[in-house]
């Protein structure tokens, strides 16, 4: 099962959700983000989708989510197509729930930290013992002297 199928199986969501009219949102947030309601394992969430081409600092993301949290009863989850490894690390340090589709899902409120890419296991490179190295060097140098 691919990651997009898993996403749609686990999540039920409604795109282009307008924030409730009774709770006004700052214009900077309405211009920067799109919103979608979602539900995962009974947890109601509001996906805060950053479609802006310029990545912003995790501190700014945290500030924007804090502004929204006071107006929304649901959990907020930051969604962005690409995030640099450095900023992903900083988002985790600040405990900002986020999803990078096809790469990582970090949801501390559900104790979830899923990653698509895993570290590769290093294979040991073949090594020669010191005595074998001496024999090979001797053979190479002997052939070089004959030429």
Measured distance CA(50)–CA(60) in Å, rounded: 12
**Residue 28 burial (C-beta neighbours within 10 Å; 0-12, 13-18, 19+):** exposed
Q: What is the pTM of this model?
A: 0.66
| Mean pLDDT taken over the chain | 78
For residue 115, name the pLDDT band (cuts at 50, 70, 90).
Answer: confident
Of 92, 87, 86, 32, the residue nearest 64 (C-alpha): 32
The better pLDDT of the pair 121, 126 is held by 126
Class of 3-117 in CATH: alpha beta
Measured distance CA(107)–CA(26) in Å, rounded: 25
For the chain, domain boundaries: 3-117
Mean pLDDT of 110-129: 72
For residue 59, name the pLDDT band (cuts at 50, 70, 90).
Answer: very high
Render pLDDT for 75-112 as a digit per residue (tens, 0 to 9). Answer: 899 999 888 888 989 999 988 999 988 888 888 888 77
pLDDT at 113 exceeding the cut of 80: no
Please say whether the beta carbons of 83 and 97 come within 8 A: no
H or E, element range at 4: helix 3-10
Measured distance CA(128)–CA(88) in Å, rounded: 41
For residue 58, name the pLDDT band (cuts at 50, 70, 90).
Answer: very high
């Amino acid at each position: 099962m691919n990651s997009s199928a898993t996403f749609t199986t686990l999540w039920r969501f409604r795109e282009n959700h307008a924030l409730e009219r009774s709770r006004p949102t700052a214009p900077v947030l309405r211009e920067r983000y799109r919103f979608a309601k979602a539900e995962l394992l009974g947890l109601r969430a509001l996906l805060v989708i950053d479609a802006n081409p310029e990545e912003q600092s995790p501190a700014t993301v945290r500030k924007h989510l804090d502004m929204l949290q006071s107006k929304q009863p649901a959990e907020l989850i930051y969604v962005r197509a690409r995030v640099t490894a450095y900023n992903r690390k900083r988002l985790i340090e600040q405990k900002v729930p986020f999803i990078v589709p096809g790469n990582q899902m970090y949801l501390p409120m559900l104790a979830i930290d899923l990653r698509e890419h895993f570290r590769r296991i290093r294979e040991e490179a073949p090594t020669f013992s010191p005595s074998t190295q001496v024999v090979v060097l001797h053979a190479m140098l002997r052939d070089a002297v004959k030429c």
